[in-house]
Structure 1
Amino acid sequence: MHAAKRPRTDDSPSLNITRSDIWFDDGNIIVQAETTQFRLYKGALCASSAILKEAVENLGESKGVEGCPILFLSDSSEDLGCLLHVMFYPWSYPADEPIHFSVLAAFLRLGRKYEIKPLYEKALARFTAVFPSSVDDYLNADLKNKLVRRDPDTSRRGEVAVDAIVLGRELGIVSVLPAAFWCASMYPQYLATPSTRSLTDDDRDIILRTTTPLQVAYSTYLFDWLDEAVVPSPSCTQGPSCTQAKTQLSLKLWKPNNSMWRLRWLPWCVEGLCRSCAALGKKHHHEGVERLWKELPSFFNLPEWEEILALC
C-alpha cells in the first residue's frame, strides 16, 4: 500500500494551511494531511516505515515550502498528528497510562497502513486487553484502570464500547466485537447520543434488539441456582434459613431482571447461605458465565468464537 500523493499546481484554490506544533525549523521535508503541515526529517520518516520511505523517495528534489518538498498524505490530520507525536515524542503516550480512544484508533489505522509493526502490535494488544476474546481475560482485566478513554475528562465505558465496535468493523478486528457489543448493551442510553453517529443502523438495531434477551440469558444462566426447583441443594445445613436467603437474593439478582451485568463473582451473591449452598451457587454461577460467554457472539449475529479466533 502506498501513501497517497497529489500534485500542487499554481492555479490551485487558496487553502488555509495550518502549521502543526510538530515543526522542526531545520527539517527537510513537509508532510501535509488535509490542511495541516508538519515539518520533519526525511531520515527519521524513512526509518519509520518502508512505505513512507518509498513515498519520500518518489518526491525527487522538488521544492515546496521553505525549500522543502511536500509529501501529501490522504490521512486525517488528527491521525497523522498522533502518529508523528509518538514517532518524535515517544514519551507523549506512556505505556502504563490510559490513552484517548482516538489515539488508539490512529495507531491501529496508520500502524497497519504504513506497516509500522511495533506501533500496530502494541495498540492491538491494548485494544484486545480492553475487549478480550477470553472470558478469563475479561474477568481478570483491571477494567477500572482504563487502558483507553473516550475524552480527556471521563472514562465512559459505554461510549468506548461503541467506538470499539465501529473501529473493529472498520479494521476487521473481529475478536473485540463480542465483548464490545456486550459492554455497549449495558449502556443503551449512549446509542441516542451524538457520539454514536458513526455506529451503523444495523449494529445499533442489533444492540437494541439484543438487550432484553441477553439480560434474560444473563440472569438465568448465572442465577437460576437460586430456585431450588431448578438446582436443589441436598446437602444444605440450614434448611429454611437458606431457602429464605435464596428468596431474598433472587429478588436482587434474578427476579426481576436487573441491570447489574457483572460476570465477576461477588461474595455477597451468597450472603446468608450455608457453606454448602454457597459453594453450589458459586459453581453454577461459574458454569453460567462460561455458557453465556460461549454463546455471546450468537446474540449479535457474529460467527462462533472458533471462527472468530481463526480470523485473528
Structure 2
Amino acid sequence: MDEAYTRVEDLWFPDGTLIIKAERKIFRVTKSILASRSSVFRDMAAFPQRAGDDESIDGCPVVLLHDSAADVEVFLRAIFDSSYFMPPPEPVYIYSALGILRLSHKYDVQYLFRRALRHLEVPLYFSSVGAFREPVSDHITYTVEGEVDTPRRFFAIIKAARETCAEGLLPVAYYRASQYPHDALLTGPSEQAEDAIKCVKAGLILARENATLAKNFTSVGSILCGTPTECSSARLLALDMYLSSVEGENDVFPVESWGHAEWGYLKEHGMCPACIRAYRTVHATAVEKVWERLPRIFDLPSWSELAEMKRVVMGGIGLG
C-alpha cells in the first residue's frame, strides 16, 4: 500500500471488501453495506476507478473519491457507526453535519440526508416569525476550543445548502452572517466574497428596517391612553433603549427586536396597558413585514416557495 496515505484505523475493517481513498486518507469498509445504502456506491463498487497504478489493495477494489477526506470520514462514520450521528437533539459539530449533508446528497443516502437536514433546520428553518422569535435549544456545536467565532460557519452552511437543494436554510443563514462586523465579513477567503458583499448590502437594508421600527416609538400611542405624560416619558426611554441596542454597524436584528423583557420594561416605567397594546400590535406587524421580505433581501425565493422546495426534498424527490 502507498505509504503516502494515512489509514483511518477505526474505519479500516479487517473483513472489509472495498478500499476508499480521499485526499491522503484511506478507508477499508464493507462494500455490501455501502451498496445497500447507496445506489451510487453500488454502481461505483461494481466499476471501481483506478487509483494511480493500483487496481486493488489486499485483494479489495479501490474507489478514489474526489471529496474532502474530512467529509468522507464523517460520512463513513455515520454509515458504519449507528451511534455516531444520531437524530436531533443529540449534539453534533456543524462541519460534521455539513459533510454528511453534502455526501449523503451526492451519493443518495436519503435517510442520512434527511437526518442532517433536520439537525440544521433546528437553528436555521422556521415556519413563521413567531417560531423564529421563540427561544431555540440549539444542539449544534459551532466552534471548538480556541477557535475564533467568525462568519465562516454561516458561509459554509450557505455553500452546502446550495449544493444540496436545501435552500430553506439560506434566509436565516444569510441573516445570521449579516450580523457580523463588515471587516469580519470582507476578510475571508475569496470564494466567500460574493456572499460577503451580499451580507454587507443586506446589513444596510436591515439597519434601515431598525430605523423604521424605532420610529414607531415616537409615532404610536393609544387614543384610550389616560396617562399621556407618563406614557410619553416611557416612550422616550424605550426609544433610547432601542437605539442603544442597535448602535453598532453589525447590530442588525430587526426580526428579533423587542421581546417579553422589553415590553415589561415599558410597563415598569409607567406606560399604560392601552399604549403597550397599541405598540405591540404595530411592532408585531412591522416585524412580520420584515420577516416576509427577508428572503427577497438576499435574492432568494419567497417563504412559500422555500417551504415547497423543502417539502419536495424531504419527500425524497430529486435526491441523488
* TM > 0.5 fold call: yes
| 2:179 aligned with 1:214 | no
Contact 2:8 2:25 in 1 (8 A): yes
Q: Partner residue of 1:235? A: 224
Deviations 1:215-244 (A, max 9, x none): 1213423x43311xx223211232211110
Deviation at 1:156, TM superposition (A): 4.5
1:87 is aligned to 79
Does residue 225 (structure 1) correspond to residue 220 (structure 2)? The answer is no
Does 1:162 pair with 2:150?
A: no
**Distance (whole Å) between structure 2 residues aligned to residue 198 and residue 245 of structure 1:** 48
Q: Tell me how far apart the structure 2 counterparts of residues 158 and 138 of structure 1 sit (CA, whole Å).
A: 20
Equivalent runs, 1:261-300 vs 2, <5 Å? 261=253, 262-263=256-257, 265-269=259-263, 270-271=266-267, 272=269, 273-300=271-298
Cα distance between partner residues in 1 of 2:91 and 2:186:
26
Distance 1:218 1:157 in 2: 23
Distance 1:235 1:40, change over 3 A: same
TM-aligned CA deviation for residue 141 of structure 1? 5.2
Does residue 176 of structure 1 match 2:176? no
Distance 1:57 1:206 in 2: 44
**Identity among equivalent pairs (%):** 23
Contact 2:105 2:164 in 1 (8 A): no
Amino acid in structure 2 at the alignment position of 1:235? L
Q: Distance in 1 between matches of 2:112 and 2:8?
A: 22
Equivalents in 2 of 1:235, 1:267: separation in Å? 24
Contact kept? 1:32, 1:70, Cα under 8 Å: yes
Q: 1:86 to 1:264 in 2, by over 3 A?
A: farther
Cα 1:112–1:256 change in 2 (3 A) is: closer
Matching residue within 106, 111, 131 for 1:137: 131
Q: Distance in 1 between matches of 2:202 and 2:63?
A: 47
Pick closer, same or farther for the CA change 1:26–1:129 going to 2, 3 Å: same
The Cα of 1:41 is off from its aligned counterpart by 1.5
Counterpart of 1:37 in structure 2 is: 26
AA aligned to 1:19 is: R
Alpha-carbon shift at residue 178 of structure 1 (Å): 1.5
| Preserved contact between residue 131 and residue 179 of structure 1 (Cα < 8 Å) | yes
Distance 1:283 1:267, change over 3 A: farther
What is the CA RMSD across the aligned residues, in angstroms? 2.8
User: In 2 relative to 1, CA 80–92 (structure 1 residues): closer, same or farther, beyond 3 Å?
Assistant: same
Higher relative contact order (CA 8 A, sep 6+): 2
Letter in 1 for 2:287: V
User: Could you tell me how far 1:299 is from its partner in structure 2?
Assistant: 1.9
Counterpart residue type for residue 166 of structure 1:
K
**TM-score normalized by the length of structure 2:** 0.81
TM-score of the superposed pair, with normalisation by structure 1: 0.83
Which amino acid in structure 2 is aligned with residue 150 of structure 1? Y
The yes-or-no answer on 1:100 pairing with 2:106 is: no
Q: Which runs of 5+ in 2 are unaligned?
A: 311-320
User: Does the CA contact (< 8 Å) of 1:139 and 1:264 recur in 2?
Assistant: no
Distance 1:257 1:69 in 2: 59
Letter in 2 for 1:225: N
Partner letter of residue 275 of structure 1? P
What is the CA distance between 1:104 and its match in structure 2? 1.4
Shift of 1:120: 0.4
The counterpart of 1:19, out of the listed 1, 4, 7, is 7
Give the conservation status (yes or no) of the 8 Å contact 1:29–1:40.
yes
Amino acid at match of 1:288: A
Deviation track 1:238-294 (CA, whole Å, cap 9, x = no partner) reads 221111011011011147953272246233242422222222222222212211101
Amino acid at match of 2:104: G
Deviations, residues 106-143 of structure 1 (Å, cap 9, x unaligned): 1111111111111001111222222115323322351x
Kept in 2: contact 1:28–1:42 (CA 8 A): yes
